[in-house]
Amino acid sequence: MGFGISPGMMTAEFGNALIVIDAVALALFAIIVYSSKIAAGSSRITRLLGISAFFERIRGWCAAHKNH
């Protein structure tokens, strides 16, 4: 009993489905491997774009330009 598909038995649609499944599996693997780097980068971006940091920059700008 063989485990696989005989030559000529795979349709083009099934081959395309296997390619999509492989691409999704590779993407999930990359996300798992690089999740710590992704988390560190996203927290840095969140901190830079966060609303509290934005208000802190406005307060600092106002304090620096208050004497003008």
Question: For residue 18, is it within any domain?
Answer: no
pTM across the whole model: 0.46
Q: What are 9-55's pLDDT values in tens digits?
A: 778 888 899 999 999 999 999 888 888 787 777 777 777 777 777 78
Q: How many domains does the chain have?
A: 1
Integer CA distances (angstroms), 27 to 21, 22, 40, 51, in order = 10, 9, 19, 32
Integer CA distances (angstroms), 49 to 1, 27, 63, in order = 59, 27, 21
Question: For residue 58, is it within any domain?
Answer: yes
Domain coverage including residue 46: 31-68
- Confidence category of residue 4, pLDDT binned at 50, 70, 90: low
